[in-house]
Structure 1
């Protein structure tokens, strides 16, 4: 083979390798950029989900504090109409707490625990307070346990506060009713 032909073939081979290397490099770079963009989007989504969860928990806490203030307006000896108005004002507050807790993403355990704690609050407000002529059980009438659960979530604690005895009892009763 002549030298000029051999040099031409080497030049052509080098050009093919150069183009191939450039294409491979571009493909690898594009793939890396796609991966980085995907990771950034996942991080943004995770941050947005966490933000939505914290916002919903904050709204629930705000409503719980309003409910606590409302609980302090209970008076022994209220007339039936006054009790109806009192319970009628408390009911939407509890519903609002439940709604906001239901919107917290990825917090299944928290939702169940708050549901159980709100069950105690509901029973204290609506059964003990509404049906009884006496003052409802003040220890259960309080929303402190629900506030403690949501506060632990907001702080990012590893564990939620332990359930109260009444919460455990009513949780078991709720589960038994659900299984019937």
Structure 2
């Protein structure tokens, strides 16, 4: 083979190897960029979900503090209409807190526990307020456990506070109803 032909073939071979390397490098780079972009999107979605979770948890917490303040407005000796309006407002605030908590993503245990705590609070509005002659808030109206549950979630605590005795009874009753 002549030297010129051999030089041409070597040059052509070098070009093929160079183009192949460039294409392979481009493919590897494209896959890496696609993976990086996918990871960044996933991280952004997770951050957005966490942000939304905190936002609705804060709204639920605000409702619970409002409910706590509202509970302090109960007065012994209110008329039947005043009692009914007071209870209606209290139930609406509890419902709003539960609704916001229902929108917290990935917090099934919190939602269930909060549902039990708010169920106890609602019952106390309906039963304790009308059955006692003292300031009911000082007995059973305490929204503190619901507030403690949401606060633990927002702080990122590993475990939620232990359920109260009334919450355990409420949870057991609700599970018994489900089984029927």
Same fold (TM over 0.5): yes
Asked if 2 retains the 8 angstrom alpha-carbon contact of 1:77 and 1:133, the reply is: no
Query: How many Å apart are 1:6 and its aligned residue?
Result: 1.2
Partner of 1:106: 106
1:12-27 correspondence to structure 2 within 5 Å: 12-27=12-27
Deviates more, 1:16-25 or 1:76-85: 76-85
Asked if 1 retains the 8 angstrom alpha-carbon contact of 2:71 and 2:137, the reply is: no
Unaligned runs of 5+ in 1: none
Partner of 2:45: 45
Partner of 2:76: 76
Unaligned runs of 5+ in 2: none
Q: What's the CA shift string for 1:85-132, capped at 9, x where partnerless? A: 111111110110010000000000000000000010000012322x42
Aligned residues: 179
Query: How many Å apart are 1:137 and its aligned residue?
Result: 6.5
Partner of 2:92: 92
Query: How many Å apart are 1:75 and its aligned residue?
Result: 1.2
Partner of 1:58: 58
Counterparts of 2:79 and 2:120, CA distance in 1: 24
SS in structure 2 at match of 1:140:
coil
CA RMSD of aligned residues (A): 1.2
Asked if 1 retains the 8 angstrom alpha-carbon contact of 2:128 and 2:140, the reply is: no
Query: How many Å apart are 1:133 and its aligned residue?
Result: 5.1
TM-score norm. by structure 2 comes to 0.95
